[in-house]
Structure 1
């Protein structure tokens, strides 16, 4: 019984860490100011219904839920992430790093970079 509770607590901590704990080492960059000139590929991980209303020119649109299936279609190993909120950014950056991508920066559409 104690082992089951311990496993449940560990699983809960891993899930909360993956989704809500901030990712460090990835700077926020504003695409509008042209701070993203050195990045080869822009990956838009927002949902399709959000990304079609406010598209990013030249971006590959792969929502967070589809990263596992379509991450092989990203042509470059150096990417810039466009996300709607912190949760999408955290999950997307962690997954792409696990797959061997170097995430140079991110842009959130819900807020501006400082």
Structure 2
């Protein structure tokens, strides 16, 4: 019985991990970003990003990151996402691939 409870707890923790915030990445407004030293990666879906265009951004939705991450230049990265779930998944993925993600912007809410 204890093994079953342990397995259930492990499965729950692994499923909830994607909702935990990523440490060390700060929220910035788009006006605060230095576009000369930072690559802006828009991970929103195409149907969201074409309505609210982010200038000078590389648009790669979260679902396509695994296929097209090699097209991102090797600078510091700023992530533009619609939700915190998109932000968390994309930042963790890009960090795992060796990119330096320094900041993010959520389009659905303002930074505090």
TM range (shorter): 0.7 to 0.9
1:21-100 pair list within 5 angstroms: 21-31=20-30, 33=31, 35-37=32-34, 39-100=37-98
Please, what is the CA RMSD of the aligned residues? 1.7
- Give the aligned partner of residue 16 of structure 1: 16
Match of 1:68, SS state, is helix
Q: Is the 8 A contact 1:39 1:80 kept in 2?
A: no
Q: Is the 8 A contact 1:40 1:76 kept in 2?
A: no
CA shift in 2, pair 1:39/1:106, >3 Å: farther
CA shift in 2, pair 1:11/1:107, >3 Å: same
Superposed structure 1 runs of 4+ greater than 6 Å apart: none
TM (norm. structure 2) is 0.88
- Give the aligned partner of residue 99 of structure 2: 101
Aligned partners of 1:43 and 1:62: how far apart in 2? 7
Q: Is the 8 A contact 2:46 2:61 kept in 1?
A: yes
Match of 1:41, SS state, is strand
**For this pair of structures, how many residues does the alignment match?**
111
Shift of 1:25: 0.8
Structure 1 residues 44-92: Cα deviation after superposition (integer angstroms, max 9, x where no partner): 0001100011010010000011111111110124110000011111111
Q: Is the 8 A contact 1:43 1:60 kept in 2?
A: yes
Gaps of 5+ in 2: none
